């Protein structure tokens, strides 16, 4: 297996299995570090190589489920990953490779239902520039008009306090709407009951 394919497999395990990305806490993108969902750095991309590092491969596989590895002399290594149901991967993954680490990586991707040949480069798995859906950055808050300093706030359009207020207001609007629907339903039932009594 060539170096390019190994890099794609490493990136697939990092992004699709571990849930990492190249997006920092401030919303910027990195070309050298993997970050977890909270934006904290977890690994240098160049040093996260489960296709070559058996410990990293086992760690990723054990996060998915139980692992069984076999080797028959003269043949390739074979690995089976049986995922836990709670992870979301629900199929038995089997893989084989010239090394145990590579066999485990193939089994991990198989158990998660990830097709390697659908990806041509590592770049397509990386975020390029994280901005809002309409492609804009907001430099002032949409609610209070104060300057926004962090990249994350500029992408959202609200500072942390205003974002919390917006969410709270939306929750209140939803609650009021639900109460209005309940009130309308009870008014209709009351009128039906009243009309029925008049008819009697």
C-alpha 132/C-alpha 123 separation (Å) is 20
In this prediction, residue 109 carries a pLDDT of 92
In this prediction, residue 132 carries a pLDDT of 47
Q: Dig out the tokens for 32 from the structure.
A: 């050298």
Quickly state the pLDDT bin for 92 (edges 50, 70, 90): confident
Taking a C-beta distance cutoff of 8 angstroms, is the pair 121, 8 a contact?
yes
Contacts of 35 (CB under 8 A, 6+ apart): 20, 21, 22, 23, 24, 25, 41, 42
Alpha-carbon Rg for the chain, nearest whole angstrom, is 26
Name the pTM for this structure: 0.62
Which fold does the domain 3-125 belong to in CATH? Bacillus phage protein (3.30.2120)
In this prediction, residue 172 carries a pLDDT of 75
C-alpha 100/C-alpha 50 separation (Å) is 10
How far, rounded to the nearest angstrom, does the alpha carbon of residue 195 sit from its chain's CA centroid?
55
Which tens digits make up the pLDDT trace of 27-44?
A: 778 888 999 988 889 999
Q: Where are the domains of the chain?
A: 3-125, 133-200
Quickly state the pLDDT bin for 199 (edges 50, 70, 90): low
């Amino acid at each position: 297996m060539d170096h390019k394919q190994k890099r794609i497999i490493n990136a697939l395990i990092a992004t699709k299995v571990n849930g990492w990305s190249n997006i920092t806490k401030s919303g910027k993108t990195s070309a050298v570090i993997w970050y977890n969902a909270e934006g904290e750095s977890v690994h240098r991309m160049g040093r996260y190589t489960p296709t070559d590092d058996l410990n990293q491969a086992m760690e990723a596989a054990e996060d998915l489920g139980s692992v069984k590895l076999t080797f028959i002399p003269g043949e390739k290594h074979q690995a089976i990953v049986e995922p836990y149901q709670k992870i979301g991967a629900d199929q038995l993954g089997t893989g084989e490779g010239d090394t145990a680490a590579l066999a485990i990586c193939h089994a991990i991707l198989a158990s998660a239902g990830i097709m390697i040949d659908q990806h041509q480069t590592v770049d397509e798995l990386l975020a390029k520039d994280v901005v809002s859906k309409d492609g804009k950055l907001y430099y002032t808050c949409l609610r209070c008009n104060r300057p926004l300093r962090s990249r994350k706030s500029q992408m959202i359009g609200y500072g942390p306090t205003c974002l919390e207020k917006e969410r709270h207001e939306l929750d209140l609007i939803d609650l009021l709407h639900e109460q209005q629907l309940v009130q309308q339903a009870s008014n209709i039932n009351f009128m039906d009951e009243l009309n029925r009594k008049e008819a009697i």
